[in-house]
Structure 1
Amino acid sequence: MEYIQLKEQVKQELPVNVEIEEEDNLLELGLDSLKIMRLVNTWRKQGIRIPYGHLMEQPTLKHWWQLIQKRMKKKRSDNILYNNKNNVEINNVAFPLTDVQYAYKIGREKGQELGDIGCHAYLEFSGENVDSNKLEQAWNLLQYHHPMLRARFLDSGLQEIMEKPYCENIEVIDLSENPKFQEILEQKRLELSHRKLKVEEGQVAALTCCILPERKTRILFELDLLVADVQSMQIILRDLATAYIGRELPEESKNWNFGVYLENQYKDEAEERKLAKEYWNKRVQDMPLGPELPLAKKPSNLTEMKFNRRIVRLQKEEWEVLQRKAAENQITPAILLLSAYAYVLERWSSNKKFVINIPFFNRKTEYPGIEEVVADFTTLLLLEIDLEKKKTFKEVVEMIKKQLYQDMKYTSYSGVQVQRDIAQLSGERQTIAPVVFACNLGTPLVNNEFKDNLGKFSYMISQTPGIWLDFQTYEDEEGIMLSWDSVDELFYNGMMDDMMGSFGDLLHRLRTENWDAYYDVLPKKVSKIC
């Protein structure tokens, strides 16, 4: 690789065509974390392996070129062959679960604290004139196109691809002449939104089409996240619309073999995994647990794991201001949101040093077609937050940025394994990291083709075993939706409302106020509790 190639690759990822100086901060020019990950994986194809965290520490052409030159000298001679034809054969050989899949599967078992549930997403889309027959045909095209939609999970701890999906029919409910259709929709939401799909039989997703008065429709979509990460969910919804209007699905993702990918990755990352294990083995010696939020009930005494969603929405103009301020402070928008989240958690938490559980969507895009694939490529990172001393918001941002970029050099050793190591060291059987920050910026949940043909996104709730509170983000043309899914039975009445309200207020203040200040986000009415 030559310096001019690096410069051109970076320019192609920028939102506007500008001339880049070697000392320019690329985040300020509009480069975001997803685009940087694409560059990382492009270089991996050429045998140049640079961890994402190294690039984020100094996001300039000068620093990146120094890293590339250093890696090129150590370039490996053994090239991994990335197969363009990852075809899945019928009666495919069963293959192991990833660490995250294994954790989700264990969480499904009865007797598990904060368990006996699937890692499940439930979404609703409100539209009109949807043809249920065409929708069923489109759904079947998807099920036969994407192998993981035909996956089943065995008692042996393996997964395999079935020849046929669990069910080729969608449920159609005709409420077009029923005056009580709203009540029935509510009942259906209660029935489906938290159910545990039969993944051991291959039931990993389901689709329901409700026909409403005045030719309105409501599509209900369920997905077990054993088979899909957030990008995969976006792909499923995109491909459903594509198939519905009669267009061809992407050839690259047809019969893509997730098992072969995992096998290749395990071999390919052996050296990185060894270094990462050494790093985390040192870190876990004094690593804290998750935030100790005030609990109204012990997790072991929960009668039901039921999640409730709260939403803060920022309009496009508000979100653009915050993105500009993030760039001015040389951070990504994700780090801004994470810092605000940590700031709020600290004021309610009795321990001021804690970890936040961060899902990291880790697709290795050097594999052809992988950007179109449905599977769970998630790994976890446990980010340590130290707020034992009072800090300005800018100081919190800098602390989080530094720690996150350092930790991201070592993601080959999964956060699931780190949690096991902490539990083994401490003898703790409790949940290690029950507070999650999942950030999915850059791509809308559904595209215009879906909205025009199948409906607009109107409701969502998710659940994850072992989790108290799950932060999620979804961008669209109107701005950004920031949602918290929480197990409300754990917490004091009104507490989650107060925390979410404080989070929204803090973001509004950060738009206009100086970040080099301390923000007390705890409402006066709850100061006696915390």
Structure 2
Amino acid sequence: MNISNERWIRDVVVEILGEEPATISDGENLFEAGLDSVGLLRLVNRLRRGGLQVSFGDLAREPTLAAWDRLVGSEKAADDGAEPASGHTADAPDEGGANSEPTQLGVMQHAYWVGRSAGQRLGGVAAHLYAEFDHPPTGTDPAIDANRLKAALERVLERHETLRTRITSDGRQEVLAKLSALLAVHDMRGHSEAEVQDHLSRMRDAFSHQALDIDNGEVMSVALTLLPDGATRLHLDVDMIAADAVSYRILLADFAALYGSPSLNLPPLGLNYRDYLAGTRSGHAQRVHQAAEAWRERLPTLPGAPILPEVIEATSRDATPRVARRHLWLAPGQKQQLTEIARRNGVTVAMTVATVLSEVVGHWSTTDHFLLNVPMFDRAANHPDIDRIVGDFSSSVMLEVDLRQPLTFVDRVRALQARMHADAAHASHTGLDVLRDLGRQRGETVLAPVVFTSALGLGELFAPAVTAVVGRPVWVISQGPQVLLDAQVTEFEDGLLVNWDTREDALAPGVVDAMFTAFEQVLREVIDEPAAWNRPIRISTANAQRRRSGDRDVRIVDAAGCDRPDHVAGRLLFAGEDEQGRRPWGRADESGGVRLLGDDDERVDVHGIPVWPVEVEDAIRSDGRIGEVAVVRHDESLVAVVAFEPSTEADTRMTGKAFRAQLARRIPSHLLPSRIIVVDRLPRNADGGANSDALDRLISAKSERSDHVAPRTDLERVLAGAWEEILGLENIGVNEEFIALGGDSLLAARVVSRLREELDTNAVTLRALFRSPTIAELAEQLRKDGDPARLDEVASIVLEIRAMSDDEVASHLGETASDTSSRQSGTAA
């Protein structure tokens, strides 16, 4: 290791930590000095740009300057690093008057695009960040000049191509050569206070839950409300498909600079987002392969999502999902306290907050072993302009949280931090890749709907130079597809701001308020009481003493004898009875009532999640067409036998597989029975109860393939052929569900692209596939949306072509070209 490299590494570390060089010793644990995962990512990229091939995992294993000097000096940097890094240096971006050729989306961009499609659990949501800024009167009227604002927006659009990018119907991005900034100005200066507040409320509601028209290049929406006395409110909504958290800061900084100095010429950019993506895809294939192998070795033991108390609606949610924000601000003094105590314990502030979140989530989860979705912000390109361009550079890590063993809080944080560093060392295989791997293994969609986003180390969300121009932020909210809870921690006004954005329509009443209250209590406890770090976290459960089952008082407790919160399963402990012995399971609701679930011998573990037949029956009964249902344990799985109400359309033609596919769109996967058998009526005993022996015989007699239905029409055969080729399967029935066959969003996009080309129709979309996830349903939907006769004709031609050999196709095309040439010659003559 030469002296210049050694000094340079120290200088980079000092810069990231903001410390004096003399205060950091060679053997000091840099995590104790304040380095966090975001800072470590920045450090890795800075070192790589300087020609040093290091990885996240290498540096995290022994975080001292002395160890890093030895690592680089011995040229032993491992090639199993975390980030999708690239040494790519892009050429100057294309400039011209034409739109770009469509290119692939980035990893998270694709997930955001897919998540906009309804018909999937927790889908139908645009990923976007909406903020409102209030500027007080400045002596001029108004505080923000609309014309100057629009001019600055035009220049920001011109500078950053992702802000004028449209997403094509087949899931690619096309940069528009020119896109005018749209600015809506609402003049409320002559209106009453009540009218102003009504307008602002309606604007907030509309902007908070809108889905921008990304098909036509609308990835940013801006409005300005002129308020009485010269004040203004700026409304800014940015779709995350165009800008991640770091890019959002860049966008605001550029806008503020251009508004503040209209004649300013920002330095030109020598790199664009498309070239960045192309460079990252072309490099480090070995690192990606090694990361994928590391994750796949862990698949058999990886958990799924935490099981929070959800509301199961009678139908799929077609209404606009409702997201609400709760926030907690830690003043600068509290931030300093937390920082100091975290450093003394050798952990980061981010992992401390993540551990508090994990403890709270685990308290409200049916399972205490789950995945936490942790976004990562990584700009890994060897280019001087990489930190000045706007785009989505984010990825994610699936952080395994294991609360099954009691630990002191400090040991829990250390364990989670060690797991985070180990998982991040293989982040080249992204969190989305891991979820797809799990989904293929389990034959179901696997979600990670609880998100923890740390923006610590990225600087203030709204820099002083920005707020000086646009005003103080008074409202911020974000939402994303397939997310129940997104917890974020960021620096704000010299303190720490923790936000919770939650799907209010999806979680049981009272759950989020109780969880957030507990989160705040625990976080303040670990800040104010150093002794709290040396004991396990205990979360009190409100209303635990008011529960009754029949005429008896009852407690619902976990394995340690602690009270369970409302809507979470636990063992029933009746008043006056000994805690020892066999206990049934149950859960309480917000009114104090108790739902009995059953005994241990009735329970089935679904990927580590305890499930009882009555829970599955309740979920199935939420479908208003069901007349009777019985769920029984059969060969270590749960099988449902259902009878539809005679008056429903489903009564005559719904198969078990088709009904299961419909259920999969709206109920959690662990509540889906492994099989559903449809009957005219359930077998009953003389007393009217379900005849369990008869049900067992019925289930045994009905094999899984007994309701297999082969494609019946040319259109169904075309659909089946595409599915079979892309999924690598044979003999797919028309009632088989796409996801259950091993499909995922990437494969779905390939199916859609293939069928759009073969059937020559734009009616085949991801939305259509997710809403109609069986061949029978998709064929029926396409016939409704298009011309059935034309579809049948095209499908027949497709089947003819598929039956031809390559030579026959070439011969046919040659004859067609010859015929066309002859006709053209005849016309010319």
Range into which the TM-score falls when normalised by the shorter chain? over 0.9
Q: Equivalent residues in 2 for 1:361-400 (5 A)?
A: 361-364=377-380, 366-400=382-416
Using the TM superposition, give the Cα deviation of residue 428 of structure 1 relative to its aligned residue in structure 2, in angstroms.
1.8
Q: Partners of 2:205 and 2:8 in 1: how far apart? A: 54
Q: Which residue of 2 aligns with 1:6?
A: 9
Q: Partners of 1:60 and 1:300 in 2: how far apart? A: 55
Counterpart among 92, 97, 100 of residue 85 in structure 1: 92
Residue 532 of structure 2 is aligned to residue 518 of structure 1: no
Counterpart among 146, 166, 177 of residue 132 in structure 1: 146
Q: Partners of 2:349 and 2:189 in 1: how far apart? A: 44
Residue 115 of structure 2 is aligned to residue 111 of structure 1: no
Q: Partners of 1:73 and 1:459 in 2: how far apart? A: 45
Q: Which residue of 1 aligns with 2:448?
A: 433
Residue 34 of structure 2 is aligned to residue 38 of structure 1: no
Q: Which residue of 1 aligns with 2:176?
A: 162
Q: Partners of 1:349 and 1:230 in 2: how far apart? A: 29
Counterpart among 185, 188, 192 of residue 175 in structure 1: 188
Q: Indicate the SS of the match to 1:135.
A: helix
* 1:286-309 CA distance string (max 9 Å, x none): 211111112233697444421110
Counterpart among 295, 312, 316 of residue 297 in structure 1: 312
Q: Partners of 1:233 and 1:56 in 2: how far apart? A: 28
Q: Do the aligned partners of residues 354 and 173 (structure 1) sit closer, same or farther apart at CA in structure 2, a change above 3 Å counting?
A: same
Q: Partners of 2:267 and 2:540 in 1: how far apart? A: 52
Q: Partners of 2:452 and 2:366 in 1: how far apart? A: 19
Q: Do the aligned partners of residues 361 and 191 (structure 1) sit closer, same or farther apart at CA in structure 2, a change above 3 Å counting?
A: same
Q: Equivalent residues in 2 for 1:435-514 (5 A)?
A: 435-442=450-457, 443-511=459-527, 512-514=529-531
Which shifted more, 388-397 or 143-152?
388-397
Q: Partners of 1:421 and 1:135 in 2: how far apart? A: 46
Q: Equivalent residues in 2 for 1:214-363 (5 A)?
A: 214-246=229-261, 248=264, 250-253=266-269, 256-297=271-312, 301-302=316-317, 303-363=319-379
Which shifted more, 284-293 or 300-309?
300-309
Q: Partners of 2:400 and 2:266 in 1: how far apart? A: 40
Q: Do the aligned partners of residues 31 and 73 (structure 1) sit closer, same or farther apart at CA in structure 2, a change above 3 Å counting?
A: closer
Q: Indicate the SS of the match to 1:518.
A: coil
Contact 1:15–1:30 (CA<8 Å) still a contact in 2? no
* 1:435-456 CA distance string (max 9 Å, x none): 1001111311112122122111
Q: Which has the larger radius of gyration?
A: 2
Q: Which residue of 1 aligns with 2:211?
A: 196
Contact 1:360–1:381 (CA<8 Å) still a contact in 2? yes
Using the TM superposition, give the Cα deviation of residue 163 of structure 1 relative to its aligned residue in structure 2, in angstroms.
0.8
Q: Which residue of 2 aligns with 1:415?
A: 431
Q: Do the aligned partners of residues 219 and 337 (structure 1) sit closer, same or farther apart at CA in structure 2, a change above 3 Å counting?
A: same
Using the TM superposition, give the Cα deviation of residue 365 of structure 1 relative to its aligned residue in structure 2, in angstroms.
5.2
Q: Indicate the SS of the match to 2:367.
A: coil
Contact 1:313–1:479 (CA<8 Å) still a contact in 2? yes
TM-score, normalisation: structure 1: 0.94
Q: Partners of 1:462 and 1:450 in 2: how far apart? A: 19
Q: Partners of 1:400 and 1:170 in 2: how far apart? A: 45
Q: Which amino acid in 2 is paired with 1:118?
A: A
Higher relative contact order (CA 8 A, sep 6+): 1
Q: Partners of 2:123 and 2:311 in 1: how far apart? A: 18
Q: Partners of 2:124 and 2:490 in 1: how far apart? A: 27
Q: Which amino acid in 2 is paired with 1:311?
A: H
Contact 2:71–2:77 (CA<8 Å) still a contact in 1? no
Q: Indicate the SS of the match to 2:401.
A: strand
Using the TM superposition, give the Cα deviation of residue 252 of structure 1 relative to its aligned residue in structure 2, in angstroms.
4.8
Q: Partners of 1:290 and 1:74 in 2: how far apart? A: 31
Q: Partners of 2:396 and 2:231 in 1: how far apart? A: 40
Using the TM superposition, give the Cα deviation of residue 17 of structure 1 relative to its aligned residue in structure 2, in angstroms.
1.2
Q: Do the aligned partners of residues 12 and 198 (structure 1) sit closer, same or farther apart at CA in structure 2, a change above 3 Å counting?
A: closer
* 1:48-90 CA distance string (max 9 Å, x none): 2222233123210122122213436889xxx945236334544
Q: Do the aligned partners of residues 49 and 73 (structure 1) sit closer, same or farther apart at CA in structure 2, a change above 3 Å counting?
A: closer
Q: Indicate the SS of the match to 1:524.
A: coil
Using the TM superposition, give the Cα deviation of residue 141 of structure 1 relative to its aligned residue in structure 2, in angstroms.
0.6
Residue 136 of structure 2 is aligned to residue 122 of structure 1: no
Contact 1:242–1:249 (CA<8 Å) still a contact in 2? no
Contact 2:223–2:234 (CA<8 Å) still a contact in 1? yes
* 1:467-496 CA distance string (max 9 Å, x none): 111011231234111011011122222211
Using the TM superposition, give the Cα deviation of residue 342 of structure 1 relative to its aligned residue in structure 2, in angstroms.
0.5
* 1:204-229 CA distance string (max 9 Å, x none): 10110000001010000011100110
Q: Which amino acid in 2 is paired with 1:157?
A: G
Q: Which residue of 2 aligns with 1:59?
A: 63
Q: Which residue of 1 aligns with 2:157?
A: 143
Q: Partners of 1:150 and 1:14 in 2: how far apart? A: 36
* 1:15-37 CA distance string (max 9 Å, x none): 23142332111233333443332
Q: Equivalent residues in 2 for 1:199-210 (5 A)?
A: 199-210=214-225
Which shifted more, 512-521 or 397-406?
512-521
Using the TM superposition, give the Cα deviation of residue 409 of structure 1 relative to its aligned residue in structure 2, in angstroms.
1.0
Q: Do the aligned partners of residues 520 and 173 (structure 1) sit closer, same or farther apart at CA in structure 2, a change above 3 Å counting?
A: same
Between Structure 1 and Structure 2, how many residues are aligned?
A: 524
Q: Partners of 2:68 and 2:89 in 1: how far apart? A: 25
Give RMSD over aligned pairs. Answer: 2.0
Q: Which amino acid in 2 is paired with 1:34?
A: V
Which shifted more, 387-396 or 375-384?
387-396
Contact 1:82–1:368 (CA<8 Å) still a contact in 2? no
Q: Which amino acid in 2 is paired with 1:294?
A: P
Which shifted more, 14-23 or 104-113?
14-23
Q: Which amino acid in 2 is paired with 1:438?
A: T
Which shifted more, 138-147 or 446-455?
446-455
Q: Indicate the SS of the match to 2:42.
A: helix
Residue 75 of structure 2 is aligned to residue 71 of structure 1: yes
Which shifted more, 403-412 or 64-73?
64-73
Q: Partners of 2:99 and 2:75 in 1: how far apart? A: 41
Contact 1:176–1:213 (CA<8 Å) still a contact in 2? yes
Q: Partners of 1:509 and 1:262 in 2: how far apart? A: 44
Identity in percent = 28
> Runs of 5+ in structure 1 lacking a partner?
none
Q: Which residue of 2 aligns with 1:211?
A: 226
Q: Indicate the SS of the match to 2:418.
A: helix
Q: Which amino acid in 2 is paired with 1:130?
A: I
* 1:105-156 CA distance string (max 9 Å, x none): 1111132221112111111000031111111110111001100000110112
Q: Partners of 2:57 and 2:365 in 1: how far apart? A: 28
* 1:303-333 CA distance string (max 9 Å, x none): 4421110111111101111011111111221
Q: Indicate the SS of the match to 1:240.
A: helix
Q: Which amino acid in 1 is paired with 2:125?
A: I
Contact 1:54–1:406 (CA<8 Å) still a contact in 2? no
Q: Do the aligned partners of residues 461 and 6 (structure 1) sit closer, same or farther apart at CA in structure 2, a change above 3 Å counting?
A: closer
Q: Indicate the SS of the match to 1:490.
A: coil
